Structure 1
Amino acid sequence: MVTAEKYGLKKTLSIDFDAAEAKVLAALKEQGFGILTEINVQNTLKQKLDVDMARYKILGACNPPLAHKALQAETEVGLLLPCNVVIYEDAQAGNTVVMAIDPMTMVQISDNEALQDVAVEAKARLEKALAAL
Protein backbone atom coordinates (compact mmCIF):
# COMPACT_ATOMS: atom_id res chain seq x y z
CA MET A 1 0.00 0.00 0.00
CA VAL A 2 1.27 3.46 -0.92
CA THR A 3 0.87 6.02 1.85
CA ALA A 4 1.10 9.79 1.80
CA GLU A 5 3.77 11.18 4.09
CA LYS A 6 4.86 14.72 4.93
CA TYR A 7 7.13 15.10 1.89
CA GLY A 8 5.98 12.39 -0.41
CA LEU A 9 4.66 8.95 -1.16
CA LYS A 10 5.89 5.86 0.69
CA LYS A 11 5.84 2.11 0.24
CA THR A 12 7.51 -0.42 2.50
CA LEU A 13 8.69 -3.66 0.92
CA SER A 14 9.61 -6.93 2.60
CA ILE A 15 12.41 -7.63 0.13
CA ASP A 16 16.11 -6.85 0.23
CA PHE A 17 17.60 -3.58 -0.99
CA ASP A 18 18.97 -4.89 -4.30
CA ALA A 19 15.67 -6.51 -5.27
CA ALA A 20 13.79 -3.35 -4.27
CA GLU A 21 16.11 -1.16 -6.33
CA ALA A 22 15.64 -3.34 -9.42
CA LYS A 23 11.86 -3.21 -9.02
CA VAL A 24 11.90 0.57 -8.51
CA LEU A 25 13.96 1.15 -11.65
CA ALA A 26 11.64 -1.05 -13.73
CA ALA A 27 8.47 0.53 -12.31
CA LEU A 28 9.75 4.06 -12.93
CA LYS A 29 10.73 3.16 -16.49
CA GLU A 30 7.24 1.76 -17.08
CA GLN A 31 5.83 5.17 -16.09
CA GLY A 32 8.16 7.08 -18.42
CA PHE A 33 10.83 8.08 -15.89
CA GLY A 34 14.54 7.82 -16.52
CA ILE A 35 17.20 8.14 -13.85
CA LEU A 36 19.36 11.25 -14.28
CA THR A 37 21.24 11.03 -11.01
CA GLU A 38 22.03 8.38 -8.43
CA ILE A 39 23.53 9.24 -5.07
CA ASN A 40 24.75 6.41 -2.87
CA VAL A 41 24.41 8.17 0.47
CA GLN A 42 25.82 5.24 2.45
CA ASN A 43 29.08 5.22 0.45
CA THR A 44 29.36 8.99 0.31
CA LEU A 45 29.03 9.42 4.07
CA LYS A 46 31.47 6.58 4.68
CA GLN A 47 34.06 8.20 2.40
CA LYS A 48 33.57 11.78 3.60
CA LEU A 49 32.81 11.32 7.30
CA ASP A 50 33.83 7.72 8.02
CA VAL A 51 30.38 6.96 9.40
CA ASP A 52 28.41 3.77 8.93
CA MET A 53 24.76 3.74 8.01
CA ALA A 54 22.25 1.46 6.34
CA ARG A 55 22.02 1.38 2.56
CA TYR A 56 20.42 4.56 1.23
CA LYS A 57 20.15 5.81 -2.35
CA ILE A 58 18.61 8.91 -3.85
CA LEU A 59 17.51 8.57 -7.47
CA GLY A 60 16.80 11.64 -9.56
CA ALA A 61 13.88 10.49 -11.72
CA CYS A 62 12.81 12.51 -14.74
CA ASN A 63 9.88 12.19 -17.13
CA PRO A 64 11.12 14.41 -20.00
CA PRO A 65 7.70 15.52 -21.35
CA LEU A 66 6.53 16.48 -17.86
CA ALA A 67 9.80 18.25 -17.05
CA HIS A 68 9.50 20.22 -20.29
CA LYS A 69 5.93 21.28 -19.48
CA ALA A 70 6.94 22.32 -15.97
CA LEU A 71 9.89 24.37 -17.24
CA GLN A 72 7.67 26.07 -19.81
CA ALA A 73 5.31 27.07 -17.01
CA GLU A 74 8.09 28.35 -14.75
CA THR A 75 11.81 28.37 -15.52
CA GLU A 76 12.82 28.43 -11.85
CA VAL A 77 10.98 25.16 -11.16
CA GLY A 78 14.20 23.46 -12.26
CA LEU A 79 15.34 23.95 -8.67
CA LEU A 80 12.73 21.35 -7.71
CA LEU A 81 13.61 18.87 -10.46
CA PRO A 82 14.12 15.98 -10.96
CA CYS A 83 11.65 14.02 -8.84
CA ASN A 84 13.67 12.43 -6.07
CA VAL A 85 13.01 8.80 -5.24
CA VAL A 86 14.67 7.38 -2.13
CA ILE A 87 15.39 3.73 -1.39
CA TYR A 88 16.68 2.82 2.06
CA GLU A 89 17.09 -0.13 4.37
CA ASP A 90 15.12 -0.21 7.57
CA ALA A 91 17.44 -2.69 9.23
CA GLN A 92 15.50 -2.82 12.50
CA ALA A 93 12.28 -3.83 10.74
CA GLY A 94 14.05 -5.91 8.09
CA ASN A 95 12.36 -3.99 5.27
CA THR A 96 13.29 -1.73 2.41
CA VAL A 97 11.48 1.59 2.16
CA VAL A 98 10.80 3.42 -1.09
CA MET A 99 9.70 7.05 -1.08
CA ALA A 100 9.03 9.51 -3.88
CA ILE A 101 8.62 13.25 -3.61
CA ASP A 102 5.03 14.42 -3.99
CA PRO A 103 5.12 16.61 -7.12
CA MET A 104 2.28 18.69 -5.69
CA THR A 105 5.03 20.22 -3.55
CA MET A 106 6.11 22.13 -6.69
CA VAL A 107 2.73 23.83 -6.82
CA GLN A 108 2.78 24.64 -3.11
CA ILE A 109 6.31 26.04 -3.15
CA SER A 110 6.01 27.98 -6.39
CA ASP A 111 2.41 29.11 -5.90
CA ASN A 112 2.09 28.81 -9.70
CA GLU A 113 -1.20 27.23 -10.71
CA ALA A 114 0.20 26.60 -14.21
CA LEU A 115 2.18 23.74 -12.65
CA GLN A 116 -0.96 22.06 -11.32
CA ASP A 117 -1.64 19.78 -14.32
CA VAL A 118 2.00 18.70 -14.58
CA ALA A 119 2.17 17.94 -10.86
CA VAL A 120 -1.08 15.97 -10.92
CA GLU A 121 0.16 13.79 -13.79
CA ALA A 122 3.62 13.31 -12.27
CA LYS A 123 2.08 12.32 -8.93
CA ALA A 124 -0.24 9.83 -10.61
CA ARG A 125 2.69 8.25 -12.45
CA LEU A 126 4.81 8.03 -9.29
CA GLU A 127 1.88 6.53 -7.37
CA LYS A 128 1.44 3.90 -10.10
CA ALA A 129 5.16 3.11 -10.00
CA LEU A 130 5.13 2.64 -6.23
CA ALA A 131 1.88 0.66 -6.32
CA ALA A 132 3.48 -1.74 -8.83
CA LEU A 133 6.27 -2.65 -6.40
Structure 2
Amino acid sequence: MREIIDFLTANSTVFIATSDKGQARVRPFQFQFEQDGRLWFCTARHKEVFAQLQADPRLELASTAKDMATLRLLGQANLDDDMAVKRRIIENNGLVRSIYGAADNPEFTVFSVDHGRAVIFDFSGNPPKQYAF
Protein backbone atom coordinates (compact mmCIF):
# COMPACT_ATOMS: atom_id res chain seq x y z
CA MET A 1 0.00 0.00 0.00
CA ARG A 2 2.90 2.38 0.74
CA GLU A 3 4.02 2.39 -2.90
CA ILE A 4 0.46 3.19 -4.06
CA ILE A 5 0.20 6.09 -1.60
CA ASP A 6 3.64 7.41 -2.55
CA PHE A 7 2.77 7.24 -6.25
CA LEU A 8 -0.55 9.07 -5.76
CA THR A 9 1.03 11.69 -3.53
CA ALA A 10 3.68 12.43 -6.17
CA ASN A 11 1.16 12.25 -9.04
CA SER A 12 -2.05 13.49 -7.48
CA THR A 13 -3.99 14.11 -10.69
CA VAL A 14 -5.89 10.92 -11.44
CA PHE A 15 -8.54 10.05 -13.98
CA ILE A 16 -11.49 8.20 -12.48
CA ALA A 17 -13.78 6.08 -14.62
CA THR A 18 -17.35 5.35 -13.55
CA SER A 19 -20.34 3.82 -15.28
CA ASP A 20 -23.42 5.76 -16.35
CA LYS A 21 -26.12 3.29 -17.40
CA GLY A 22 -23.51 1.10 -19.04
CA GLN A 23 -21.55 3.95 -20.64
CA ALA A 24 -18.02 4.59 -19.34
CA ARG A 25 -17.37 8.12 -18.02
CA VAL A 26 -13.91 9.45 -17.21
CA ARG A 27 -12.90 12.69 -15.53
CA PRO A 28 -9.91 14.16 -13.67
CA PHE A 29 -9.78 14.19 -9.89
CA GLN A 30 -7.21 15.13 -7.32
CA PHE A 31 -6.04 12.52 -4.83
CA GLN A 32 -6.27 14.16 -1.41
CA PHE A 33 -4.53 11.81 1.02
CA GLU A 34 -4.51 8.38 2.64
CA GLN A 35 -5.89 7.93 6.12
CA ASP A 36 -6.30 4.62 7.94
CA GLY A 37 -5.79 2.66 4.71
CA ARG A 38 -8.39 4.70 2.83
CA LEU A 39 -7.60 6.75 -0.29
CA TRP A 40 -9.63 9.98 -0.14
CA PHE A 41 -11.16 12.12 -2.90
CA CYS A 42 -13.82 14.84 -2.94
CA THR A 43 -16.58 16.07 -5.21
CA ALA A 44 -19.90 17.92 -5.20
CA ARG A 45 -23.26 16.30 -4.55
CA HIS A 46 -24.83 17.90 -7.65
CA LYS A 47 -22.27 16.41 -10.06
CA GLU A 48 -23.09 13.47 -12.29
CA VAL A 49 -20.11 11.54 -10.91
CA PHE A 50 -21.68 11.56 -7.44
CA ALA A 51 -24.95 10.12 -8.80
CA GLN A 52 -23.00 7.55 -10.81
CA LEU A 53 -21.07 6.40 -7.73
CA GLN A 54 -24.31 6.19 -5.73
CA ALA A 55 -25.85 3.98 -8.41
CA ASP A 56 -22.72 1.89 -8.99
CA PRO A 57 -19.74 2.41 -6.66
CA ARG A 58 -17.30 0.51 -8.89
CA LEU A 59 -14.55 2.68 -10.27
CA GLU A 60 -11.15 2.51 -11.88
CA LEU A 61 -8.53 5.22 -11.74
CA ALA A 62 -5.24 5.86 -13.46
CA SER A 63 -2.36 8.26 -12.89
CA THR A 64 0.87 8.69 -14.81
CA ALA A 65 4.21 10.06 -13.64
CA LYS A 66 6.46 12.28 -15.76
CA ASP A 67 8.62 9.24 -16.60
CA MET A 68 5.44 7.48 -17.86
CA ALA A 69 5.26 5.05 -14.93
CA THR A 70 1.55 4.39 -14.53
CA LEU A 71 -0.72 3.37 -11.69
CA ARG A 72 -4.07 1.72 -12.40
CA LEU A 73 -6.37 1.00 -9.48
CA LEU A 74 -9.67 -0.88 -9.44
CA GLY A 75 -11.99 -0.59 -6.45
CA GLN A 76 -15.24 0.73 -5.07
CA ALA A 77 -16.12 4.17 -3.78
CA ASN A 78 -17.20 4.41 -0.17
CA LEU A 79 -19.47 7.47 -0.04
CA ASP A 80 -18.63 8.25 3.58
CA ASP A 81 -19.30 11.93 4.22
CA ASP A 82 -16.72 12.15 7.02
CA MET A 83 -16.64 15.69 8.49
CA ALA A 84 -13.10 15.29 9.87
CA VAL A 85 -11.85 14.33 6.41
CA LYS A 86 -13.72 17.24 4.86
CA ARG A 87 -12.12 19.63 7.36
CA ARG A 88 -8.66 18.24 6.61
CA ILE A 89 -9.16 18.69 2.86
CA ILE A 90 -10.48 22.25 3.24
CA GLU A 91 -7.60 23.19 5.56
CA ASN A 92 -4.90 21.74 3.31
CA ASN A 93 -6.15 22.29 -0.23
CA GLY A 94 -6.55 25.89 -1.38
CA LEU A 95 -8.24 24.92 -4.64
CA VAL A 96 -10.93 22.89 -2.89
CA ARG A 97 -11.34 25.64 -0.27
CA SER A 98 -11.82 28.21 -3.07
CA ILE A 99 -14.59 26.07 -4.59
CA TYR A 100 -16.49 24.95 -1.48
CA GLY A 101 -15.47 27.49 1.15
CA ALA A 102 -16.02 25.37 4.24
CA ALA A 103 -16.26 21.74 5.28
CA ASP A 104 -19.93 22.16 6.21
CA ASN A 105 -20.92 23.27 2.70
CA PRO A 106 -23.82 20.90 1.91
CA GLU A 107 -22.60 20.44 -1.70
CA PHE A 108 -19.11 19.33 -0.60
CA THR A 109 -18.73 15.60 -0.08
CA VAL A 110 -15.94 13.05 0.14
CA PHE A 111 -15.45 9.44 -0.79
CA SER A 112 -12.73 6.87 -0.30
CA VAL A 113 -11.46 3.73 -1.91
CA ASP A 114 -10.90 1.29 0.94
CA HIS A 115 -9.90 -1.88 -0.86
CA GLY A 116 -9.15 -3.04 -4.34
CA ARG A 117 -6.39 -4.04 -6.71
CA ALA A 118 -3.66 -1.91 -8.21
CA VAL A 119 -0.82 -2.27 -10.66
CA ILE A 120 2.16 0.01 -11.22
CA PHE A 121 4.03 -0.44 -14.47
CA ASP A 122 6.62 1.36 -16.55
CA PHE A 123 8.64 0.87 -19.71
CA SER A 124 11.75 -0.50 -17.99
CA GLY A 125 11.11 -4.06 -19.05
CA ASN A 126 10.56 -5.08 -15.43
CA PRO A 127 7.30 -6.88 -14.68
CA PRO A 128 4.41 -4.79 -13.36
CA LYS A 129 4.03 -4.60 -9.58
CA GLN A 130 0.63 -5.81 -8.43
CA TYR A 131 -1.08 -5.00 -5.14
CA ALA A 132 -4.23 -5.95 -3.29
CA PHE A 133 -5.38 -3.74 -0.42
Q: Which has the higher contact order (CA 8 A, sep 6+)?
A: 1
Structure having the higher helix fraction is: 1
Query: TM over 0.5: same fold?
Result: no
Q: TM-score, normalised by structure 1?
A: 0.32
Q: Which has the higher strand share?
A: 2
